[in-house]
């Protein structure tokens, strides 16, 4: 299985993408993508994942039903009208326990990205962290922009790369410990809010982690700094 259904509404699906699933891919890769699997399972060619999660990332993913819904959600993402929170684990302590990471992202070697000190079109990530998860540190990450590898690069810049993220120095683990945990948005005047705990990975499935998650305040109710126009 590549996914499970979290909710179904007239205009969209909300799914839990499993780690290892590729959202999109080329026709000649020989690999069944999440998009192909969804269209097959629902016997519908008009299903469109509205954003990307890396192969190694699990969690909530919005899938539009039809072209009009896809356009609507694309506009929401462009306007940063969809609030997102992720969970991550790191084996290292960050330079600071909470705050924000801002900076332009530029391409580095072999498909990686790096953060710079310039702020021309910056990636912006807010975060909180707490210890006590089997010797690891739990992060709640709130991306205010949607850059490629943004959260993975932000964590590296804090000196606390995501556990299992070998590309950015997170070391070896049974998975990359990054999970799209919560989403909230409005569709036609109706408010939607979702929280989806992770289900894959030895540490994510440990009682220690579950207890830490139970103690965590609702991600959207954390004292996030006020923002202006998503910045």
Catalytic residues: 54
CB atoms within 10 A of CB 22: 19
CB-based burial label for 215 (10 Å; 0-12, 13-18, 19+): exposed
Question: What does the DSSP assignment read for 48-65?
Answer: EE-S---TT-EEEEEEEE
Which is it for the CA torsion 118, 181, 58, 46, positive or negative?
A: negative
- Residue bearing tokens 């498909």: 111
Residue 61 sits at φ, ψ, to 5 deg, of: -140, 130
List own/partner pairs for 67-76 with CB under 8 A and 24 or more apart.
Answer: 69/11, 69/12, 72/11, 72/187, 73/12, 74/50, 76/185
Please give the structure tokens belonging to residue 117. Answer: 């000190």
């Amino acid at each position: 299985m590549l996914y499970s259904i979290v909710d179904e509404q007239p205009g969209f699906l909300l799914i839990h993408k499993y780690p290892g699933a590729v959202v999109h891919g080329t026709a000649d890769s020989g690999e069944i993508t999440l998009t192909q699997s969804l269209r097959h399972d629902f016997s519908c060619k008009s299903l469109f994942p509205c954003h990307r999660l890396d192969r190694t990332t699990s969690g909530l993913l919005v899938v539009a039903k039809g072209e009009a819904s896809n356009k609507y959600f694309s506009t929401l993402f462009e306007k940063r009208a969809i609030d997102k929170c992720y969970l991550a684990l790191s084996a290292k302590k960050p330079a600071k326990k909470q705050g924000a990471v801002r900076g332009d992202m530029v391409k580095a070697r072999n498909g990686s990205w790096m953060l710079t000190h310039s702020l021309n079109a910056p990636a912006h990530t807010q975060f909180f962290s707490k210890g006590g998860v089997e010797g690891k540190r739990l992060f709640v990450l709130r991306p205010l922009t949607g850059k490629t590898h943004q959260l993975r690069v932000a964590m590296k810049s804090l000196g606390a790369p995501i556990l299992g993220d070998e590309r950015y120095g997170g070391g070896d683990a049974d998975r990359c410990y990054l999970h799209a945990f919560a989403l909230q948005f409005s569709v036609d005047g109706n408010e939607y809010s979702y929280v989806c705990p992770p289900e894959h990975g030895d540490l994510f499935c440990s009682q220690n982690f579950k207890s830490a998650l139970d103690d965590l305040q609702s991600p959207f109710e954390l004292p996030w700094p006020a923002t202006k126009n998503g910045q």
